[in-house]
Amino acid sequence: FIFSVVVSFTAFGQVRQFSSGPDYKKDIADLTALIKKYPDSVNYYLKRAALVYEINSSYPKQTQTDLKMKDVIPDLNKAISIQPNNASLYEQRGEYKWEINQDTTGALIDKSKAIELEPTNPRWLDKRGTLYVELHDYDKACIDYTKGAEMGDEICKRGKENFCPTKKKGGY
């Protein structure tokens, strides 16, 4: 079987690619070894989480790896403990909480934390608005999309057009 994710980054001055291809077990082992050697490198935790998530979500029955979906969130927890003011880390953990565990509360808390840390970033408003849409909470989605649209974000403008009631449309 063929996997799709390729994770690239610079390690020791060389670009290193980790993929969910045939050598995924070795790649996960290499990332784990790098984490042990460099425990404060947020990048390695993120790459391992992304690789483990992709492998286990795309091919759960065929995949035999020591790391499972339950290991993805702890990698993000560790990354956040290293960089607690990094909004992107909270947003990513929120995505994983929703996708892996259907943890709505945890996902909304993390997405809200990303907005708290970077209130002028419309990307976070779009991401939380999208989660509200999935939860059928269109009023809250509309609030996020409207704020993002006011910042000039095109994606939020489309979200606002699609999910905010207008007099012309007569509601959702």
* Distance (Å, whole) CA 155 – CA 148: 8
Question: Which structure tokens are listed for 77?
Answer: 């927890």
Amino acid at 161: E
Model pTM score? 0.80
Q: What is the pLDDT of residue 43?
A: 94
3-state SS record for 83-110: CCCCHHHHHHHHHHHHHHHCCHHHHHHH
Q: How many Cβ atoms sit within 10 Å of the Cβ of residue 102?
A: 9
Tens-digit pLDDT profile for residues 47-106? 999 988 888 777 655 555 566 778 899 999 999 999 999 999 999 999 999 988 889 999
Q: What is the pLDDT of residue 7?
A: 44
- Does position 44 have pLDDT exceeding 50, yes or no? yes
Question: Which structure tokens are listed for 33?
Answer: 């070894």
Q: What is the pLDDT of residue 17?
A: 58
By percentage, how much of the chain surpasses pLDDT 70?
Answer: 78
Phi, psi torsion values for 96, nearest 5 degrees: -65, -40
- Does position 148 have pLDDT exceeding 90, yes or no? yes
Q: Is 11 exposed, middle or buried (0-12, 13-18, 19+ CB in 10 A)?
A: middle
Q: What is the pLDDT of residue 57?
A: 75
Q: If you ran DSSP here, which 8-state letter would residue 60 be given?
A: T
